[in-house]
């Protein structure tokens, strides 16, 4: 355990950040799974709706600093390509 006050504070703040990042990443993964499920089912309308929701979730994750800008763009681009291949 840390002895210095600033080190103790660092431990607490890093735990808070880790919990927030984990929650945001989990939300992104859930949204990605919804898009994948719609693609697997062959439902283009549902896939487009899920993709639209994913873009919002990824945008918020990027704004919070959980994902880098290019990572966000790459993931959204790949999902959009998969959705556009339907029908």
- What is the model's pLDDT at position 15? 97
Whether 87 shows a pLDDT value over 80: the answer reads no
- What is the model's pLDDT at position 1? 78
Whether residue 77 is contained in a domain is answered as yes
Whether residue 73 is contained in a domain is answered as yes
* Averaged pLDDT, 1-5: 89
Whether residue 4 is contained in a domain is answered as no
Whether residue 84 is contained in a domain is answered as yes
Whether residue 18 is contained in a domain is answered as no
Whether residue 20 is contained in a domain is answered as no
For the chain, how many structural domains are there in total?
Answer: 1
Confirm whether pTM is higher than 0.75: yes
> 32-82, pLDDT tens digit by residue?
999 999 999 999 999 999 999 999 999 999 999 999 999 999 999 999 999
Residue 61: domain span: 27-87
The residues, any chain, with a CB within 8 Å of residue 48's CB and separated by 6 or more, are 83
Distance CA 50, CA 57 (A): 10
Whether residue 52 is contained in a domain is answered as yes
- Which is higher by pLDDT, 60 or 2? 60
């Amino acid at each position: 355990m840390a002895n210095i006050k600033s080190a103790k504070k660092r431990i607490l703040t890093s735990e808070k950040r880790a919990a927030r990042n984990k929650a945001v990443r989990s939300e992104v993964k859930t949204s990605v799974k919804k898009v994948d499920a719609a693609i697997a089912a062959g439902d283009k309308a549902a896939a487009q709706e899920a993709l639209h929701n994913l873009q919002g979730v990824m945008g918020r994750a990027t704004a919070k600093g959980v994902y880098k800008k290019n990572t966000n763009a790459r993931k959204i681009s790949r999902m959009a390509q998969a959705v556009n291949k339907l029908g």
